[in-house]
Amino acid sequence: MQLQLTPAQQQFRDQVRAFIASDLPLDIREHLRMGHPPRKSDVVTWQRRLHARGWAVPHWPREYGGSQMSDIEKLILQDELFRANAPQPLHFNCTMLGPVLIEFGSDAQKTHWLPRLANLDVWFCQGFSEPGSGSDLASLRTAATRQGDDYIVNGQKIWTSSAHLADWIFALVRTGGGSRKQEGISFLLIDLKTPGITIRPIIGIDGGHHLNEVFFDNVRVPATQLVGVEGEGWKCAKFLLGNERTGIAAVGFSRERLRHARRLAERIMQAGRPMIEDRRLREDIAMLEAETRALEITQWRFFASSAARDDRSGAYASMLKLKGVELQQDISALLARIAGPESLEWRSYEGAADDDWTAATGTRYLFLRAASIYGGSSEVQKEILAKALLG
């Protein structure tokens, strides 16, 4: 099993580093380094530059604008982006919808959508969850009834991240029944400008507007926007959720934030001495560094072995999601501790000065509480792991 980069992989990593150093705008880098989430314009600008280099959708086949990279190269690229405080390509487009279209979409859908997704000409959001249908996603009730060449959609989605920024939504809808609730679900692409759609903000505990409710009132959707077979959308959903979970681990992000925390602790003075000289703090940082390294090795094992393609891949994805999120939360708590009372003062990072790193500590800490819910809650991941372990 490979735990060290081969010379070719090192060369690739160096190419990525050089590209980021020359092409990532400084203001975006600084904004992220201070702990702020990327703005929409940051993601669009950077994804287009990455795409021009062939790296926005590295895992897609070449014929669709990808580079057909191996899992390891993809991981190297992702880690380098985190390391340099560069935005990641938009997950909804690149790791969620794109692969679903490649696997289940028609030729016309691939030709139309894949180039637009890769270049972020269109921003998609994910319309899966509904009130009462989150962990138990297959119980969803938003209905799509066939009428001539269209579906008429009625119902509600909730917790829809970035719907207020998005152009389109990929949604799971119920088109029929069956003996199992997973049957009769379909996967539709819907233009958010279609009459009958209302988007209502949900303001988070961090004061930020990331989430929304999306209402559908007799929304007419051309049947050509169905992906895959009517009633078999659950296959698309399962395929997509596996990709989502692995991405959420974001080990490279934890590593970068931890490095940032250590640098701050070395610089900030407390009672006349750098904070890092406090033994308790030093021990806590060392413990988090060890845990991050351990998860990094687990991630390498996952991608370097055939596990990424075998039956256990769901359990590995759950393990990475579960532990990856715990680390992100612990590191956000560490940063809030280093910021001290200033992290308690609630200040929105929307509009905070780019060099104001304490503004983001309290808000990021609060926002990351939600990380053990989105992409499948921690309890549900533990259930999946228990089943895999106990059979």
Ligand X SMILES: Cc1cc2nc3c(=O)[nH]c(=O)nc-3n(C[C@H](O)[C@H](O)[C@H](O)COP(=O)(O)OP(=O)(O)OC[C@H]3O[C@@H](n4cnc5c(N)ncnc54)[C@H](O)[C@@H]3O)c2cc1C
Task: Give the interface with ligand X as residue ranges (CB under 6 A).
Answer: 125-129, 134-135, 159-161, 211, 370, 373-374, 376-377, 379-380, 383
Which of 237, 264 has the CB closer to ligand X? 237
Which of 16, 190 has the CB closer to ligand X? 190
Q: Find the shortest distance in angstroms from Cβ 194 to ligand X.
A: 18
Which of 264, 325 has the CB closer to ligand X? 325
Which of 160, 363 has the CB closer to ligand X? 160
The residue from 244, 277, 289, 379 that is catalytic is 244
Could you give the CA distance from residue 259 to residue 289 in angstroms, rounded to a whole number? Answer: 9
Q: Please spell the DSSP secondary structure of 95-125, one letter per residue.
A: IIIHHHHHHH--HHHHHHHHHHHHTTSS-EE
Q: Find the shortest distance in angstroms from Cβ 157 to ligand X.
A: 6
Other C-beta atoms lying within 10 Å of the C-beta of residue 302: 20
Contact (Cβ atoms closer than 8 angstroms) between residue 76 and residue 9: yes
Helix/strand/coil for 208: coil
Contact (Cβ atoms closer than 8 angstroms) between residue 211 and residue 202: yes
Location of structure tokens 């999601």: 321
Contact (Cβ atoms closer than 8 angstroms) between residue 70 and residue 36: no
Which of 129, 186 has the CB closer to ligand X? 129
Q: Find the shortest distance in angstroms from Cβ 7 to ligand X.
A: 40
Q: Find the shortest distance in angstroms from Cβ 204 to ligand X.
A: 7
End-to-end CA distance of the chain: 26
Q: Find the shortest distance in angstroms from Cβ 70 to ligand X.
A: 29
Per DSSP (E only), the strands in the chain are 124-127, 143-147, 150-157, 168-174, 185-191, 197-203, 209-222, 226-227, 269-270, 273-274
**80, burial (CB in 10 Å: exposed 0-12, middle 13-18, buried 19+):** buried
Residue 244 annotated as catalytic: yes
Catalytic (active-site) positions? 244
